[in-house]
Structure 1
Amino acid sequence: MRAEPPAWAQAAALLEEAADLLVLHRDFAAAVERCEAGCDSLGPGPGPGPCPGPGHESFAEVKCSLCVVGIQALAEMNRWREVLSWVLQYYHAPEHLPPKVLELCILLYSKVREPQVMLEVGSSWLRAHANQSLPEFGSLLELYLAQVLLPLGRFEGAEELVRGCAVPDSEQQLQLLGTIGQSRRRWTQREETRSAAEEQQDPATETLLGVLSQKLLTMLTLLRRALRSMSNHFYLLPYKKMLLATFLLYLVVVRLDPASPTSLPFIYKLVQLFRQAWAAVLSPVHRPPLRD
């Protein structure tokens, strides 16, 4: 029996610890640390192409599993923005990502509604000739189209990608092109419907704003008349009634609880009214004549 390399054994042990921390203990930060230590112990390693020699399959599987656990732990901590850069630091190039890691990244960024993050990475991976011979290539191409290109409206890029890639099944290529055409038509219909709705909404909005403006102007006019009438009535009050109203206003202010935070704005307004009333009472126009 051939002994496994020490680096592989260390990485496998760290993978087991990271999986336990993720699933059993829910310690996501510690799980990411174990995954980073395992990937560092394995080094860059070869790409996802055919196995160059004995031991490479186990090497690639362990590293891929470490990245999968790390991605899940980062997502659990809501650190999904770091996922792509975190993975690329161990594979250095998008075309070297394992199919499982690429699939997980596409699904993650699609779920958080940030599919544009995977535009260049997915295109680079799918255009690499070494990846087009992998059995997962067809499913990843469909996933990339459905979750990244088509939701972003990149229809021309999608058709160019499908025609440029060496899709093993010509029937699948025709099916993908048909899917792109259907998505383009639905996109166009939505845009036309949205434009028509906006055009219909503008006159209705202008009419509504005109009605609201007219109502507001009428309310302001009525309010101005009411204030003018109250002001005229206020100045016709005798001096004693004015003083009594001012005294009652002072009692209202004093009886309020000044320690209540909700009463502070109201107290401030009442004090201002009190000062205005007091100034009106003591003004030369309303001041009572002096008697000998």
Structure 2
Amino acid sequence: MRSEPVTWSPVAAQAASLLEEATDLLVLHRDFAAALERCEAGCDSLGTASGTSPVPESSAEVKCSLCVVGIQALAEMNRWREVLSWVLQYYHDPEHLPPKVLELCILLYSKVKEPQVMLEVGSSWFRDQSNKRLPEYGSLLELYLLHALLPLGRFEAAEELVRSCDVFDSEQQQAFLGTISESRCQWTQREDRYSAAEQQEDTATETLLGAVSQKLLAMLTFLRRALRSMSSHFSLLPYKKMLLATFLLYLVVVRLDPASPTSLPFIYKLVQLFRQAWAAVSSPVHRSPVQD
């Protein structure tokens, strides 16, 4: 019995034509922006998958292919951060993502070292009952474990997914659980090595700070002794001589008007008197007084 050819609706045929243009722009012409525009136009013409109204199989395949080409175009333009949000414009709910689109997203965010982006999406997709009946479920779950959950240390979530997966038989489940256990041990060893290295770095920093603080303490001790010596030296000067010098300086600078002619002889006498007082003040303390 001959199978009937697939009939394309006008919308699906138009989207398929846009898909062909986008593929040529991506592969042959390397015009990634134009390829992305064709993909967006094709997806917009097909509408969004709401999950309630069935989508013709031909339209679903074209839409999935358009998203695949769009993801590749975004990645080529280094706009990989927009990939997931761009895809979810056309598949509102994460659990409605086609297996091929989900696979590309997992691999892409794993390659750019951002696997945490796929945690929430993957959790919703793999817990959906309708997705568990898909033939790609087992291989996608393995991909999700190796490229998202285990690199992030989500070992409990990985074990829960494996145990709740009806696709795996007991032997496969044990193999995956063994992989999870091995990955957990490696994770713990890396954390121990990192903690040891961090502790050594902290010890070296404390040693360096200790040496610096000792030098600073020695400098402060020396400065304190110098200040104490200076203060003790100045405390030995007679207060009368200090007061006399201060008073003379006050008269010369503040009280007298140097521009006044009558003040010149008196200023000259005060200067002479100030010089004598300063010589007496700055003379060694231990010098014996002059005998009359």
Normalised by the shorter chain, which TM-score bucket?
0.5 to 0.7
Give the whole-Å Cα distance in 1 for the aligned partners of 2:181 and 2:112. 26
Label 1:3 to 1:140 Cα distance change in 2 as closer, same or farther (>3 A). closer
Contact 1:167 1:173 in 2 (8 A): no
Counting only pairs closer than 5 Å after superposition, residues 242-281 of structure 1 correspond to structure 2 as none
Give, as a single letter, the amino acid of the residue that structure 2 aligns with 1:27.
D
- Residue 202 (structure 1) shift: 2.1
| Residue among 4, 16, 21 paired with 2:8 | 4
Give the whole-Å Cα distance in 2 for the aligned partners of 1:177 and 1:168. 11
Give, as a single letter, the amino acid of the residue that structure 2 aligns with 1:145.
L
- Which residue is 2:62 aligned to? 62
- Residue 74 (structure 1) shift: 0.8
CA RMSD between the two structures: 2.5
Contact 1:127 1:165 in 2 (8 A): no
Label 1:198 to 1:41 Cα distance change in 2 as closer, same or farther (>3 A). same
Contact 1:106 1:144 in 2 (8 A): yes
Please give the per-residue CA displacement for 1:132-157, whole angstroms capped at 9, x wherever unaligned.
Answer: 11111111101111111111111111
Q: Under a length normalisation based on structure 1, what TM-score does the superposition of the two structures give?
A: 0.67
Give the whole-Å Cα distance in 2 for the aligned partners of 1:26 and 1:214. 65
Structure 2 unaligned segments of length 5 or more: list them.
220-292
1:14 aligns with 2:18: yes
Q: Under a length normalisation based on structure 2, what TM-score does the superposition of the two structures give?
A: 0.67
- Residue 218 (structure 1) shift: 9.6
Give the whole-Å Cα distance in 2 for the aligned partners of 1:165 and 1:4. 37
- Residue 214 (structure 1) shift: 6.3
Label 1:191 to 1:3 Cα distance change in 2 as closer, same or farther (>3 A). closer
User: Which of 1 and 2 has greater Rg?
Assistant: 2
- Which residue is 2:41 aligned to? 37
| Residue among 23, 48, 53 paired with 2:27 | 23
Contact 1:106 1:118 in 2 (8 A): yes
- Which residue is 1:192 aligned to? 192
Give the whole-Å Cα distance in 2 for the aligned partners of 1:2 and 1:26. 31
Q: State percent identity of aligned pairs.
A: 77
Give the whole-Å Cα distance in 1 for the aligned partners of 2:80 and 2:58. 27
Classify the secondary structure of the residue corresponding to 2:29. Answer: coil
Contact 2:67 2:101 in 1 (8 A): yes
- Which residue is 2:151 aligned to? 151
Contact 2:8 2:58 in 1 (8 A): no
Give the whole-Å Cα distance in 1 for the aligned partners of 2:17 and 2:116. 36
Give the whole-Å Cα distance in 1 for the aligned partners of 2:168 and 2:183. 23
Label 1:125 to 1:212 Cα distance change in 2 as closer, same or farther (>3 A). same
Report how many aligned residue pairs link the two structures: 216
Structure 1 unaligned segments of length 5 or more: list them.
220-292
